[in-house]
Structure 1
């Protein structure tokens, strides 16, 4: 990504982090409540509150510019006592002091195992986490739908900066508003998860991981368990894409645990079983992978529940595409072929990236079945993919497909295709030069 384009996106990204607590040190003399409001989506604060480690909470507030004098005065203790808590020499034990801290800093009671505080908005149901979900803000949903629709056609590379700016300008400021309800945290989580996918699609997996890591505590803070499970599924996908099958299995299990405590959403459960099956297949765990895939199909065939506004759809086309990859890794190529063909047939032409990825999988399976004519036929269809599709993920998978075909260059149809592919690739790289970073060797990815 060129400096001219990366700078605005990273500037917006840091503005979002500032609102979520990462850059509160840059603010002059902040109020303790403002600092805590900005940290409510931070997993470190949530972990400290869960452990009732008030010393860690005080250190976080102090590190973001609030003096120890102001902290001590806010919770009505001496500075000497505060230092003991911050240095780990003693811990807060009395219930009354936990309540003082919660009320002084506006820490939601549920995070400290306390009853709902008098200043908190009344939730739909009371508990540490709610199985229902808050009503979404209409403007946030409209923005989400627009981003999602554009992403399917143009790729994440073209939209990542816009999503991050929307988070910074329209969503993050509301996180620090004491009057904001849980629906703001749900919107922040859903859009942060979307930013993670767009970063992944742009070839920035490290940035994607940071987005997913922030999306999960935001979902938990909102009380929306299906959304939290959805983020876990995305994290599982990213772990698998970066070569960590063990972590992918773990995240899929985490998602399934969350989904089991929430209202039934068969498509979400199917997606989580699918991610678990993919990771197990990569790890050559044949029987567990097959069982997980069967579970995914059973759940997706179940009667649909009410649609969840923040979750990306997981439909028959998506399951067919994932099934093809699972069966490919299990070396069941005939079954993989059937699912890959189904995925291509079900994909809408308007979903350019998904259709391209499905066709790439189909080419690979044909090659593994030694059916080069069929592979070349589908590969020619890929040349029609929009050359401006801003997806580094598609470009890299196309290059992987080419490497798979290269050993068969001696077969004239393959050789002729590779010439056309290379011509098309050069044109594509010129059009995507602003999105695709150079490799260490100085060439494009």
Structure 2
């Protein structure tokens, strides 16, 4: 009936009841799991075959030199070694609803000929009650799998909501958008708390990464720096678990903007370089955003050569983006947002001519309801005027921006950008009327 070695190796039941081994499973300490399995007669070669892993990878894991973090790999190990899902923090595996012990288990991992021979042998005695039970279990296991793979309707709704939020504020106050975002994000918790098929869990995590990242964006815009960082960290974990490296890169690049806008450009440069490595060389929205944010970080860190290299990389990526990646959303990288980033980077570099060109183009592409973006561009323009020696005009422009700003926008990012401009003005100008008016509006 075939070589017994072809059957999936199964850990001894007494090992699955051993407290130390159970603790290793709970902690996903696969170095302990693999070495214990080997001591109980399951070679590393058999582990590699059963878990669809390379033998050298199994050896590295057993030596503690390689960590298993991907959910798909954890599930392969659970199925390959017949470890109940609950011991690894997973949903129950399909094979756990086992057939009666006197009958063979018909498993997708078994050799087809072995399965056929086992089934023929069981049926040789006729359609006995136990054989019919075995057939029913086989059919029901597929029914369960089919049912489990259906998409919860609330997930579809939340995916659609994430797309809607990605179009930005749409003229709504940031606080209102934040409240709606957080309420929808909370709905993902119930989906993650219940067992889900791999494909569904990936979608839940991806949506969590998107919504969590957008919550962080709004908090950042409102000036809640610490809270924004916390949400970005959660979004990054969700993106990483989803396996979407582009989303993960997007989250890290967006998080780097917190450091840029709140006075830590060197920290931003280190973080955004992680994003660039994740995004890779392909012209994607995340790769373009990461390069543009890197240009801003290096410009503010007084590293002009690195800033210009990043600007060139951002422009090169932008030229090759497809239509979908160029859409004007928070999750993509449209031309308007590209020029917003260029405006800030070029302003910081003192390249006022090119900065003003990007400011003009971004304003042309910005909707009248884009209150925050238009205000930031106008403050960049004021900073260019100051750099060109027109400090009085710069102060007057900044005062006009702040005076026209709705109350909901008078704190946070716009205020911080205006404050940075005021602090760049030499002390000898602080007594002038325009600078005093600027200081008064900022303090108000």
Length-normalised TM-score, structure 2: 0.62
Cα separation, 1, equivalents of 2:190 and 2:179: 18
Q: Within the alignment, does 1:231 sit opposite 2:251 as a pair?
A: yes
Q: Within the alignment, does 1:269 sit opposite 2:287 as a pair?
A: yes
* Pairs within 5 Å for 1:118-137: 137=155
Alpha-carbon offset, residue 215 of structure 1: 1.1
In the other structure, the counterpart of 1:359 is: 378
In the other structure, the counterpart of 1:217 is: 237
In the other structure, the counterpart of 1:175 is: 192
Equivalent of 1:291, from 284, 301, 309? 309
Cα separation, 2, equivalents of 1:342 and 1:374: 21
In the other structure, the counterpart of 1:17 is: none
Equivalent of 2:261, from 222, 241, 247? 241
How has the CA–CA distance of structure 1 residues 102 and 392 changed in structure 2, closer, same or farther, with 3 Å as cutoff? Answer: farther
How has the CA–CA distance of structure 1 residues 84 and 404 changed in structure 2, closer, same or farther, with 3 Å as cutoff? Answer: closer
Aligned to 1:203, the other structure's residue is in SS state: coil
In the other structure, the counterpart of 1:312 is: 331
Q: Within the alignment, does 1:77 sit opposite 2:98 as a pair?
A: no
Task: Say how many residue pairs are matched.
Answer: 331
Contact kept, 8 Å, 2:24 with 2:33, in 1: the verdict is no
Cα separation, 1, equivalents of 2:264 and 2:145: 41
C-alpha distance after superposition, 1:25-65 (max 9, x if no partner): xxxxxxxxxxxxxxxxxxxxxxxxxxxxxxxxxxxxxxxxx
In the other structure, the counterpart of 2:96 is: none
Alpha-carbon offset, residue 274 of structure 1: 0.9
Structure of greater Rg:
2
Contact kept, 8 Å, 2:347 with 2:383, in 1: the verdict is no
Equivalent of 1:253, from 250, 268, 273? 273
Contact kept, 8 Å, 1:154 with 1:352, in 2: the verdict is no
Cα separation, 1, equivalents of 2:231 and 2:25: 32
Larger relative contact order (C-alpha < 8 A, sep ≥ 6)?
A: 1
Alpha-carbon offset, residue 373 of structure 1: 5.8
How has the CA–CA distance of structure 1 residues 377 and 174 changed in structure 2, closer, same or farther, with 3 Å as cutoff? Answer: same
Cα separation, 2, equivalents of 1:255 and 1:74: 46
Alpha-carbon offset, residue 424 of structure 1: 9.2
Alpha-carbon offset, residue 372 of structure 1: 3.9
Alpha-carbon offset, residue 359 of structure 1: 0.9
Q: Specify every segment of 5 or more residues in structure 2 that has no aligned partner in the other structure, as ranges.
A: 1-11, 38-46, 51-76, 93-107, 110-140, 147-153
Cα separation, 2, equivalents of 1:216 and 1:366: 38
Cα separation, 1, equivalents of 2:412 and 2:185: 23
Contact kept, 8 Å, 2:284 with 2:325, in 1: the verdict is no
Alpha-carbon offset, residue 366 of structure 1: 0.8
How has the CA–CA distance of structure 1 residues 75 and 176 changed in structure 2, closer, same or farther, with 3 Å as cutoff? Answer: farther
* Pairs within 5 Å for 1:121-200: 137-149=155-167, 151=169, 153-168=171-186, 170-179=187-196, 181=200, 182-200=202-220
* Pairs within 5 Å for 1:194-209: 194-209=214-229
In the other structure, the counterpart of 2:32 is: 91
How has the CA–CA distance of structure 1 residues 148 and 86 changed in structure 2, closer, same or farther, with 3 Å as cutoff? Answer: closer
C-alpha distance after superposition, 1:240-268 (max 9, x if no partner): 3344434423332322232228xx55333
Cα separation, 1, equivalents of 2:166 and 2:428: 38
Cα separation, 1, equivalents of 2:18 and 2:404: 71
Alpha-carbon offset, residue 179 of structure 1: 2.5
Alpha-carbon offset, residue 362 of structure 1: 1.1
Cα separation, 2, equivalents of 1:280 and 1:74: 59
How has the CA–CA distance of structure 1 residues 75 and 286 changed in structure 2, closer, same or farther, with 3 Å as cutoff? Answer: farther
Cα separation, 2, equivalents of 1:231 and 1:358: 23
RMSD: 4.0
Alpha-carbon offset, residue 374 of structure 1: 4.3
How has the CA–CA distance of structure 1 residues 350 and 400 changed in structure 2, closer, same or farther, with 3 Å as cutoff? Answer: same
C-alpha distance after superposition, 1:59-115 (max 9, x if no partner): xxxxxxxxxxxxx99982222554688999x82223488544463335499xxxxx9
Length-normalised TM-score, structure 1: 0.62
Aligned to 1:151, the other structure's residue is in SS state: coil
How has the CA–CA distance of structure 1 residues 238 and 415 changed in structure 2, closer, same or farther, with 3 Å as cutoff? Answer: closer
How has the CA–CA distance of structure 1 residues 108 and 269 changed in structure 2, closer, same or farther, with 3 Å as cutoff? Answer: farther
In the other structure, the counterpart of 1:281 is: 299
Task: Identify which range, 138-147 or 185-194, moves more after superposition.
Answer: 138-147
In the other structure, the counterpart of 1:387 is: 407
Contact kept, 8 Å, 1:155 with 1:391, in 2: the verdict is no
Q: Specify every segment of 5 or more residues in structure 1 that has no aligned partner in the other structure, as ranges.
A: 1-71, 110-114, 123-135, 427-445
Contact kept, 8 Å, 1:189 with 1:215, in 2: the verdict is yes
